[in-house]
Chains A and B, each alone.
Chain A
């Protein structure tokens, strides 16, 4: 009796393990193939065109009904503000979803200005890290979030490779995460460009389909030799972003992480996560089975021993 159950158990557990491994690997493969919506919109930020007028900040403030700023939006003294011992320039906050910073890059003859906002990743780390599923990557390209379900855990702030999501620390009872949503609610889904793009006097911000912007960007690099470094930041970085940058100076001189890799953040944990169902579902059953088997085997051997013993006894007799 014990021999039959052992055989059955071993066969079943091998089949179960194989099935889980195959299913797991197939799922992981499918999840890794998302490269963004084909007609997603984006913005090409050309740092060689930006003049640091901060009109984009003013337009964002008005469009998103944000609180009045401490200083007027044409006050350039904000470019001298630094934080954390002078290392950190201005970052998006709960009151300003975009900020412009000035960099006196060593390889540039004049200041370079860089606009910072959510880059609207193709495969966003904030979305991956959110356990209440507050984030959505819309087919239009925007990464939006539902503040009603946000519990304020700030996982997305840790996960974001660009340090973009801000937190409403000023709210004592209902603090939530705040960030640029590409004007999705009021403009993008109605076929309008974001407010910052529309106000920009220099067309430092070019709005269009992401796939078209990539072509435009490479054409600019090609037709203006010497004007740009030969790189479109965001084309491949971290799986690609909807907002991409062209610069006249190396990107590390204007506050970018020069080499964040081309893998989306979630790929760091995807292999691990695909093993979780196996560990949680299969292992308990498998090891319980092993345990029972070991237990039964012990009994069985006892029986055999006893039978053998009887046999031997019989033989002797």
Chain B
């Protein structure tokens, strides 16, 4: 997956302070991330990572406790207040693409010590993070604001179905 490949793991062995970590890893932070797990129906999303790093107060807003910048979420902070930077920080490194496959359900059932039993899959992780923040900060929240439909996607949503509201651009309300 491109998202996984492009979200190059940030290696920061030997770096002790947060400031040093952030500045030295800066070169390896991707400017652009291509997100395309839904490419059957939707064109790839070119995520402007650089622009969003400037918007976010710190990396933990999206990357939880994995970038070594601490975490402010009161539920996470009890265990992850001092969590160090980890080798992999890409979303798909933790959030699986098929959370409801038989294999995954069996794997989670067998892991009796697993604490995070209700972890979202990759698709939900993206949408909660992106769309949740967009909603809070009045960013774009319509499906096609981020996702251009492929011809297969047009067929899937029956975009050709006759309707007066569709002609008037009725999709604007869609979230």
Contacts and interface: CB of A to CB of B under 8 A. Distances in A.
A282 B98 CA distance: 59
A216 B118 contact: yes
A176 to B, nearest CB: 24
A74 B156 CA distance: 10
Contact count band on B:
20 to 34
Q: Interface centre among A53, A62, A201, by most B CB within 10 Å?
A: A201
Contact count band on A:
35 or more
B101 interface: yes
B159 interface: yes
A72 B163 contact: yes
A75 B169 CA distance: 9
A228 to B, nearest CB: 13
A58 interface: yes
Nearest to A50: B175
Interface in A174-214: 191-193, 197-198, 200-203, 206-209, 212
A74 B174 contact: yes
B5 interface: no
A219 B157 CA distance: 34
B118 A220 contact: yes
A58 B158 contact: yes
A197 B121 CA distance: 12
B165 A73 contact: no
Contacts of B110: none
Given A201-B124, A202-B124, A207 B158 contact: no
A171 interface: no
A68 B161 contact: yes
Contacts of A55: 157
A295 interface: no
B90 interface: no
Contacts of B171: 74-76
A192 B102 CA distance: 7
A313 interface: no
A298 interface: no
B159 A51 contact: no
A70 B101 contact: no
18 contacts: A49-B124, A51-B141, A52-B174, A53-B174, A58-B156, A62-B156, A69-B158, A70-B163, A71-B163, A71-B165, A73-B157, A75-B163, A75-B170, A197-B100, A200-B124, A203-B99, A206-B118, A223-B75
Interface of A: 49, 51-53, 55, 58-59, 61-62, 68-77, 191-193, 197-198, 200-203, 206-209, 212, 215-216, 219-220, 223
